[in-house]
Chains A and B, each alone.
Chain A
């Protein structure tokens, strides 16, 4: 498994990837795995009114990683909100199903449902 950010020839990194780099318009040609890196919590919330198939409460954070001097952010579930603050360090942990693909409005086959949660480091 990998947690892939995408990089263009000019060194801009995004998660997720885009057809063209949002910053310079070049094609993104490389991937960078964030799975073994430590990130920093930019902000977080605990959502208590969740849609069908989503755990309740659902702790969520926006996390920033540094990739060779370029910052890249990702949103994801937190394994716990205990002790989490803006600036806390977290590490990605793989989960094979983040929500029930069958319960929501989106077509289950249209995308992946596994991914990475963030655990306080």
Chain B
């Protein structure tokens, strides 16, 4: 079967941006087309990953707006909303469009504009994904992280410091990412003494609120070389959902959506966790990096924290995790994040990652929506 190639990619600067969602999407989309030398009118399909442009700024219909701005009139367009995992779900939709033969050239652009809202308002937009029996109690995504972190530390005798070390590592990686929102190292003491947000988690255990966009351009592998010698292939992809109501999960420290989506992706790629050279995980909260690194099969359940303590996931470790700086330092513009994870894998696989370059030919990205409610796992490889 003809595999699906990614022949172009881009991401905008992440952070506090003046542009609104249409401008952010157009900036990333235009850059990805230029990266591959493809025109807007060459696009058969155009997907936009976005959670809440209507709620955040009152702009709906963004795929149509983007098609017009990029000169892609006539293309089939569709918005993909899977909350924080909209980007990963967009990769799935774009991959499917090419793999099925429905499209020979698909552009995916993920983006979100958030920073014009107060932290409380943005938190409320995101918390609106919860069930009424959760929402009425004022639950937020950060409070799910606090509940889960307490359980994890208690269950596996992990020290509080190990969570702080995830933040320290990802901030260190972000220093070398020119697109990152924060390019500043933090020390463990700063993390552990920052204000409590959802006990036992503190400010530096959480990703910031961010504006930004990222894009990927897909075509059949058989024609990729007509456009560029620098491309990667989607060797495996899987998506899965877990409970909507978070407290209904049998084990609060396991994300079944991560387990099940990765099983599908590994099988498609004919790979296992031991074949992965580097990974981008959805560290919206530090505790999520532990849960995903275990549920993807990189480490035994309850042992993910030891890998961080031992430096295994450092940039010079055996399995570098979040070389981009992760959501933690790069920022988390909801719909863009899953696309930006794949952008990092793409530049690493092409050898274009500059000071943060690591070795390897197989990269994995895990994009998590809600609190593990919906997950996409993607494996990208050198051809």
User: Which A residues have a C-beta under 8 Å from some C-beta of B?
Assistant: 14-16, 22, 42-55, 58, 60-62, 73-77, 86, 98-99, 104-106, 110-113, 115
Which of A42, A43, A47, A62 is within 8 Å of B142, CB to CB? A47
Are A105 and B55 closer than 8 Å at their CB atoms?
yes
Which residues B153-187 have CB closer than 8 A to chain A?
Answer: 154
- Distance (whole angstroms) from the CB of B17 to the closest CB of chain A: 22
* A-B CB contacts (within 8 Å), total count: 126
Are B197 and A73 closer than 8 Å at their CB atoms?
no
Stretch with Cβ within 8 A of A (4 or more), from B104-112, B115-123, B357-365: B115-123
Are A46 and B198 closer than 8 Å at their CB atoms?
yes
DSSP class of B's interface residues: helix, strand, loop or mixed?
helix
Contacts of B139 in A (CB 8 A): 47, 60, 75
Which residues B130-156 have CB closer than 8 A to chain A?
Answer: 131-140, 142-143, 146-148, 150-151, 154
Q: B355 within 8 Å of A by Cβ?
A: no
Are B248 and A49 closer than 8 Å at their CB atoms?
no
User: Top 5 nearest A-B pairs by Cβ distance?
Assistant: A45-B146, A54-B138, A51-B124, A111-B132, A43-B151
- Distance (whole angstroms) from the CB of A100 to the closest CB of chain B: 10
Contacts of A112 in B (CB 8 A): 132, 136
Q: What mask results when residues 48 to 79 of chain B are scored 1 for a CB within 8 Å of chain A, else 0?
A: 00000001000000000000000000000000
CA distance A14 to B138 in the complex (A): 21
Contacts of A99 in B (CB 8 A): 136-138
Are A51 and B197 closer than 8 Å at their CB atoms?
no
Are B137 and A48 closer than 8 Å at their CB atoms?
no
Are A49 and B119 closer than 8 Å at their CB atoms?
yes
Which of B125, B128, B197, B247 is within 8 Å of A75, CB to CB? B247
CA distance A55 to B136 in the complex (A): 11
CA distance A115 to B131 in the complex (A): 14
Contacts of B140 in A (CB 8 A): 47, 49-51
CA distance A99 to B133 in the complex (A): 12
CA distance A51 to B125 in the complex (A): 9
CA distance A42 to B144 in the complex (A): 13
Given A45-B146, A45-B150, A58-B143; A75-B198 close (CB under 8 Å) = no
Given A49-B140, A112-B132, A115-B133; A105-B150 close (CB under 8 Å) = no
Besides A52-B121, A98-B136, A115-B133, 7 new A-B residue pairs in contact (Cβ under 8 A), listed by A number? A42-B247, A44-B150, A47-B143, A51-B138, A58-B137, A60-B138, A60-B147
Contacts of B135 in A (CB 8 A): 104, 106, 111
Contacts of A49 in B (CB 8 A): 119-120, 123, 140, 142, 197-198
> Closest residue of chain B to A114, judged by CB?
B136
> Closest residue of chain A to B123, judged by CB?
A51
CA distance A115 to B137 in the complex (A): 8
> Closest residue of chain B to A55, judged by CB?
B138
Are B138 and A73 closer than 8 Å at their CB atoms?
no
Given A15-B133, A16-B245, A76-B137; A45-B121 close (CB under 8 Å) = no
CA distance A49 to B131 in the complex (A): 20
Q: B246 within 8 Å of A by Cβ?
A: yes
Are A47 and B197 closer than 8 Å at their CB atoms?
yes
Which of A22, A48, A54, A111 is within 8 Å of B195, CB to CB? A48
